Amino acid sequence: MASVKNLTTTTLHSMTWTTAATIITSVLQIGYTAVMARMLPPAAFGLVALAGVVLRFGGYFAQMGMAQAIIQKPELTEEDIRAAFTSSALLGGFFTAAMVLGAPLTRFVFDQPEVVPLVRTLALGSFVAGLISTAMSLLRRNMQFRTLAIMDVVAYVLGYGGVGVVLAWQGFGVWSLIWATLSQGMILGVLAYAVTRHSVRLYFSWAHYRPLLSYGARISFTSFLEFITGSLDTMVIGRVLGTALLGIYNRAYMLISLPLYLITNSVAKVIFPAFSQLQANLGKLRAVYLASITLVAAVVLPLGAGMAVAAPELVRSLLGPDWDASVPVLRVMSVPVALSMITMFAGVMCDARAQLNQKIVVNIVTLVALVACFWLLRGYGLLGFAWSLLLNELLRMVLFTYLMNRDLAISYSRQLVTYLPGLWHAAAVGGALALVRWAIAPLQLPVFVALGLLAFTGAIVLAIVMLALPLPLLRHEMHRVLSRLHPTGAVGRQLNRYMRFLEPSAESVPAEFHNASTSMQP
């Protein structure tokens, strides 16, 4: 196993590549959504959202958590790889056939017969996912995130930007969304196997299946519970309010979740294999976990606040004037989506530590709570569903805080303080954008100009409060992370100058944080 110093350097390098890919794909997806929203009606997105629920349902069982099991297993053999590929491929084929045959049953769940042929076609994605999951997992286990980043961008451009937009332009309607999704997965699979030529011979020795399935089955069940919790709003809205309102809700959720999810998910992809390599060292895990929450909250919370304030301009610029109904939904959902991106790290920690039974309990409790909230707030339409997600995410945060206290022995105060830099940034960015919106309202600027002005203001304010006026805890964490970088030339001189700026406030950090962080030093 690599030393802590080498692991940290590799992790930072990997995050650089995944973040770069995230930024590129975020920009591409925003452009893709803006184009497709003008060529397709809201109902098309609602139908695809319903079909996607069925696809994700089968996907959680089609692989039985083998992808995570390969990454988490301390020692991996050639037989383990063959066993993982065999199970993923066979289960992917089985659940593809099951979804194709069982697709007509979806009309009783969603009351939307148009979903049936979409489900049958998208089911092919489960088989493709089963074939490529082993190659993708090996790349992540080996921290080859530069390769993964390039593959993700290429597959997205060809699948969505190429196939999807061309088919929509040719009048294929909702099917352009379906084939864009399938094309992206197929292209990614070809690229993944071209890079990682693992054995594709089937293997049936139970001795190598047992440890993988013991972990993978619990991962699969946990992911299924998360899927139900995350998809319950889509299923209920589609059933109760119809596909048109579901399309409005789905696009509002996409606008707020996409940039936040891609940013944090790119970090989570790197953090999981890094956590797994340190799973037995509680001191280092505590340090990495606290640093992750501090740094991610410092970016995610102000982004959520800014998007909530700029919701009207965001919706009218990217989706068009016909989507104004999604503005209040987007504003409410900015809070739970931002929080979910932060609590995700506690879930990753549970996976890396194999604390899956506790994670299952958290998911069951939050699922029951979400059902109760939907029932109590059902009379408030789309906003009722958005407020239900907010209440449920607050409960999830409380439960994971309790779980991290028990498993990693991190006090409640230490966990809560990690949110302070992010809350300060959110207040600063949200307040600045609200002031700018008020000032430019009489000018009646074109919506694109107004959005650009708001985005520029938010970026400047966030840069000032994060880089020039960071709170002591954030100063300390940034100093520790930047100290791992060793650039040369003009960049190195500027970094050293900024490091000296950060140093004085490191002493003002509470001792318990300082001790936890320095425990990462090799």
Q: What are the residues whose beta carbons fall under 8 Å from the beta carbon of 177, sequence distance 6 or more?
A: 36, 40, 44, 45, 48, 164, 168
| Confidence class for position 519, pLDDT limits 50, 70, 90 | very low
Do 86 and 216 lie in one domain? The reply is yes
Do 108 and 64 lie in one domain? The reply is yes
* Report for 10-14, 62-66, 421-425, 448-452: range of highest mean pLDDT: 421-425
Do 275 and 231 lie in one domain? The reply is no
The closest alpha carbon to 270, from 18, 522, 1, 45, belongs to 18
pLDDT at 517 over 60: no
Taking each helix axis from N to C end, the angle separating 311-318 and 447-463, rounded to the nearest 10 degrees, works out to: 130
Q: Is residue 21 part of a domain?
A: no
Do 49 and 140 lie in one domain? The reply is yes
The closest alpha carbon to 260, from 336, 155, 156, 351, belongs to 336
Range list of H helices, 123-242: 124-141, 145-156, 165-169, 174-195, 206-240
For 103-134, write each residue's pLDDT tens digit. Answer: 787 777 667 778 888 888 888 877 887 788 88
pLDDT at 232 over 90: no
Q: Is residue 1 part of a domain?
A: no
Average of per-residue pLDDT values in the chain: 79
Number of domains in the chain: 2
For 452-463, write each residue's pLDDT tens digit. Answer: 999 999 999 999
For 277-305, write each residue's pLDDT tens digit. Answer: 666 667 777 888 888 889 889 988 999 89
Query: What pTM does this model have?
Result: 0.68
How large is the average pLDDT for residues 49-59?
Answer: 72
The 8-class DSSP code of residue 278 comes to T
What pLDDT is recorded for position 512?
47
* Report for 273-277, 483-487, 493-497: range of highest mean pLDDT: 493-497
Q: Is residue 509 part of a domain?
A: yes
For 165-196, write each residue's pLDDT tens digit. Answer: 888 888 888 888 888 888 888 888 888 888 88
Do 65 and 210 lie in one domain? The reply is yes
Instruction: Identify the three-state secondary structure at position 256.
Output: helix
How large is the average pLDDT for residues 400-418?
Answer: 90
The burial class, CB within 10 Å (0-12 / 13-18 / 19+), for 24 is middle
pLDDT at 426 over 60: yes
| Confidence class for position 427, pLDDT limits 50, 70, 90 | very high
The last residue of one of the domains, among 179, 206, 240, is 240
Q: Is residue 256 part of a domain?
A: no
Containing structural domain, residue 203:
40-240
Do 183 and 287 lie in one domain? The reply is no
For 306-341, write each residue's pLDDT tens digit. Answer: 989 998 888 888 777 777 888 888 888 888 888 988
Do 304 and 174 lie in one domain? The reply is no
What pLDDT is recorded for position 270?
67
Q: Is residue 316 part of a domain?
A: yes
pLDDT at 515 over 50: no
Q: Is residue 98 part of a domain?
A: yes
Q: Is residue 13 part of a domain?
A: no
The closest alpha carbon to 116, from 62, 178, 73, belongs to 178
What pLDDT is recorded for position 2?
46
